[in-house]
Amino acid sequence: MEVSLNKYYKTATILSWFTIVYNLLEGAVSTYFGYEEETLSLFGFGVDSFIEMISSIGILVMVRRIEQNPSSHTSEFEKKALRITGYCLYALAILLVLTAALSIYEKHEPKNTVPGVVIASISIGFMWYLIQQKIKVGKALQSDAIISDANCAKVCMYMSMVLLGSSFVYYLTSFAYIDALGALGIAYFSYTEGKESLEKAAGVHECGCH
The per-residue pLDDT for 149 is 78
What whole-number distance in Å separates Cα of residue 180 and Cα of residue 109?
9
Q: Is the predicted pLDDT of residue 42 greater than 80, yes or no? A: yes
Confidence of residue 210 (pLDDT cuts 50, 70, 90): very low
Q: What's at 126, amino acid-wise? A: F
Cα gap 86→101, rounded to integer Å: 23
Q: Indicate the SS3 state at residue 37.
A: coil
Q: Which amino acid is at 43?
A: F
What is the band of 2 on the pLDDT scale with cuts at 50, 70, 90? Answer: low
Q: What is the mean pLDDT of the chain?
A: 90
Contacts of 21 (CB under 8 A, 6+ apart): none
Phi-psi region of 207 (alpha: psi -120 to 50; beta: other; left: phi over 0): beta
pTM of the model: 0.89
Residue 199 φ then ψ, to 5° = -65, -40
- Could you tell me how many residues make up the chain? 210
Sorting pLDDT into bands at 50, 70 and 90, what band is 181?
A: very high
